[in-house]
Amino acid sequence: MKILAVGDIVGLSGVKKLKSVLPTLRKEEQIDFIIVNGENSAEGMGITEKIFNDILEEHVDVVTMGNHTWGKKDIFKFIDHPRLIRPLNYPKGVVGKGYNIYNCKDKKIAVINLIGRVDVNVLSDNPFTQVKELVEKIKDKTDMIIVDFHAEATAEKIAMGYFLDGSVTAIFGTHTHVQTADETILEKGTAYITDIGMTGPKQSVIGMDASASIKRFVTTLPERYKIASGECVLNGVIFDVDDNTNKVKSIKRVRK
């Protein structure tokens, strides 16, 4: 089985890039299951029902979120959709689900969304203890467990990789919008990559207009961010999973 994880979609141009690339990529790579991070898809902050449905039209199995989960109030209309998950470690009682279990080719695949706490301006619970508790709860009910860890700090992501090595099938990082070159299969069999990158404007500062970003750094004034224009790129990763062992045989970065 092949599982594709697509990096943070940035704005409508990122959505269009996904829709233009995914059909061919899915066919060429014989992709069976697709995870897309959509927390920046609506003007760079949040997601709307229309965009969510546009993403699902491309045979996407699950959309994960992050620190901009509540960026658009529209989300409260469809937050309980089974193909949408938000960070597991939001406080108890918050609407939505932090994980779900999906059926694909006679396999049960659990997808978990987490958010980091280092340099992320979100009041969340401990992702390490929360995910460990959940994995113990569902490990006998699933064939595979995939984790999207939406976090800023490289160290926090790497630590999570070692923390869950052998307990989950794969962990991929999102949020920083820059694809890292450290894809690996850890000692106990868990596939890992620190960040899978973004799907959005290529000539940009993590998806945003470069001139506005530079002005903020040069002047320290609160210049309003805006999404960059121009050619887009799709970043992601493909996990090739052995159908007999449910372990990842190989992990390959994607840049289209």
For the annotated catalytic residues, the residue numbers are 68
Distances in Å between the Cα of 1 and the Cα atoms of 164, 172, 239, 243, 249 are: 21, 17, 8, 6, 10
Q: If DSSP codes are grouped into helix, strand and coil, which group holds residue 178?
A: coil
Task: Tell me the residue type at 7.
Answer: G
Query: Tokens 């467990």, residue?
Result: 145
- Asked whether the beta carbons of 20 and 6 are under 8 A apart, the reply is no
In a 3-state reduction of DSSP, which class is residue 84? strand
Long-range contacts of 250-256 (CB under 8 A, 24+ apart): 250/185, 251/170, 251/183, 251/184, 251/185, 251/191, 251/192, 251/193, 252/183, 253/179, 253/181, 253/183, 253/193, 253/196, 254/4, 254/25, 255/179, 255/197, 256/21, 256/25
* Separation between Cα atoms, residue 208 and residue 26, nearest integer Å: 28
Greatest distance between any 2 Cα atoms in the chain = 57
What DSSP element (H or E) covers 174? strand 170-174
Closest CA to 65 of 49, 82, 41: 41
State the DSSP code for 203. Answer: S
